[in-house]
């Protein structure tokens, strides 16, 4: 077991996406855990350091990814690491690309039998009238969000038609493709998967906004995270099963976190994160803690899963 040996870890965080600061914050927690575990690590930023990493790849046993958004979770970084022979935790190229595109992921969820909000994707080339007519057919409020961004960046809940144009501009400012979906008001939950097994369900209760948006996610005190979620045994098992189905239908591995909404005792799948937040207070580490993992043992587990790919 690699738990008995010192590992040389390339810690990869930062990047050029709008989630750069979130990535760097998570990397700080992972650095601390790696030091506690006794591993040797070196930091690499995909925005500036990939050439250096390629030249020195043989010096490391594995990479640990704490990169979010385009360029980190969409398969491009994973393909680079595959090409230089450096194993890493989390989804490979295909799974990363599928999960990153919310429109494609929704199609796969539906094919796998999961319930999803009604909606469709639009590109900048399509007319505003098409988007307006579709939103009207869903009925307000609707959700407008970029197709390939995380952390709720660019997301707007549009309550009236007069606000749709501004919401589209906000989403298109960070992505060339967007989604318009029906707005489901209910209980927000998330299900983590670790080593292809479901973790305890977490319920997220925003205190100052309607949704678990960017500000709420990363401002202490603006949301309450409850684990295990008090939703009853039947819904808990169903949510965990949905999380596992989402994980598998997107061709993921090692770990993931799928966000869902409970409305009228039905569970709707929203999206899946292939590199979940990795601070000590993030949602997947919280669920892992309830399952018996310290933050350090969670990081060790993920390192072992990465090395399993090399073997």
**Quick one: pLDDT at residue 150?**
65
- Known binding site for Mg(2+): residues? 259, 271, 273
* Overall residue count recorded for the chain in this entry: 311
Each residue's pLDDT expressed in tens, for the chain with a length of 311 residues? 444 699 999 999 999 988 899 899 999 999 999 999 999 999 999 999 999 999 999 999 999 999 998 889 999 999 999 999 999 999 999 999 999 999 999 999 999 999 999 999 999 999 899 999 999 999 999 999 998 876 577 899 999 999 999 999 999 998 899 999 999 999 999 999 999 999 999 999 987 656 545 454 555 566 799 999 999 999 999 999 999 999 999 999 999 999 999 999 999 999 999 999 998 779 999 999 999 999 999 999 999 999 997 75
DSSP 282: S
**Block residue for tokens 């008995």:** 4
- Provide the CATH number for the domain formed by 98-115+185-274 in this structure: 3.30.470.20
Instruction: Give me the residue spans of the domains in the chain.
Output: 2-89, 98-115+185-274, 119-182
b/e per residue 109-132 (b: at least 16 CB within 10 A): beeeebebbebebbeeeeeeeebe
**Protein fold of 2-89:** Rossmann fold (3.40.50)
Q: How far is CA 262 from CA 115, 125, 239, 250, in A?
A: 11, 34, 9, 21
Phi, psi for 131 (deg, rounded to 5): -65, -40
* Overall CATH class of domain 119-182: alpha beta
* Residues recognised as catalytic: 19, 151, 282
**Rounded CA gap, 307 and 311, in Å?**
7
**Strands 177-182 vs 119-123: parallel, antiparallel or unpaired:** antiparallel
Helix orientation angle between 93-100 and 76-83, rounded to the nearest 10 degrees = 170
Q: How far is CA 51 from CA 45, 47, 80, 181, in A?
A: 10, 10, 10, 40
Asked whether the beta carbons of 88 and 96 are under 8 A apart, the reply is: no
Asked whether the beta carbons of 212 and 188 are under 8 A apart, the reply is: yes
Phi, psi for 141 (deg, rounded to 5): -75, 155
Q: How far is CA 223 from CA 198, 203, 206, in A?
A: 23, 10, 4
- Known binding site: residues? 259, 271, 273
Summarize the chain as % helix, strand, coil (round to 5).
Answer: 40, 25, 35
Q: Residue 157 belongs to what H/E stretch?
A: strand 156-158
Comparing CA positions, the residue from 156, 127, 121, 128 lying closest to residue 142 is 156
Asked whether the beta carbons of 43 and 15 are under 8 A apart, the reply is: no
Q: How far is CA 65 from CA 23, 31, 34, 285, 299, in A?
A: 9, 12, 13, 15, 11
Phi, psi for 5 (deg, rounded to 5): -130, 155
């Amino acid at each position: 077991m690699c738990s008995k040996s010192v590992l040389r870890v390339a810690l990869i965080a930062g990047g050029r996406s709008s989630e750069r600061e979130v990535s760097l914050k998570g990397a700080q927690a992972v650095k601390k855990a790696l030091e506690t575990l006794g591993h040797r690590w070196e930091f690499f930023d995909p925005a500036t350091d990939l050439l250096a990493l390629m030249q020195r790849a043989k010096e490391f046993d594995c990479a640990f990814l704490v990169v979010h958004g385009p360029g980190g979770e969409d398969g491009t970084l994973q393909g680079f690491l595959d090409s230089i022979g450096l194993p890493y935790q989390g989804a490979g190229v295909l799974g990363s690309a599928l999960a990153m595109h919310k429109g494609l992921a929704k199609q796969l969820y539906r094919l796998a039998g999961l319930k999803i909000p009604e909606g469709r994707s639009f590109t900048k080339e399509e007319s505003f009238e098409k988007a307006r007519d579709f939103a009207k057919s869903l009925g307000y409020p609707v959700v407008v969000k970029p197709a390939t961004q995380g952390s709720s960046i660019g997301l707007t809940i549009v309550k009236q038609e007069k606000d749709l144009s501004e919401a589209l501009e906000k989403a298109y400012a960070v992505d060339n493709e967007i989604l318009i979906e029906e707005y489901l008001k209910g209980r927000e939950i998330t299900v983590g998967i670790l080593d292809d097994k479901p973790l305890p369900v977490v319920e997220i209760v925003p205190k100052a906004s309607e949704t678990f948006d960017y500000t709420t996610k990363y401002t202490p005190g603006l949301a309450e995270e409850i684990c295990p979620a008090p939703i009853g045994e039947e819904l808990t098992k169903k949510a965990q099963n949905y999380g596992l189905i989402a994980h598998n239908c997107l061709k993921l591995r090692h770990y993931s976190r799928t966000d869902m909404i409970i409305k009228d005792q039905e569970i709707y799948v929203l999206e899946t994160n292939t590199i979940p937040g990795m601070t000590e207070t993030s949602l997947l580490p919280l669920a892992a803690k309830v399952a018996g993992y310290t933050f350090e043992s969670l990081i060790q587990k993920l390192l072992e899963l990465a090395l399993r790919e090399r073997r």
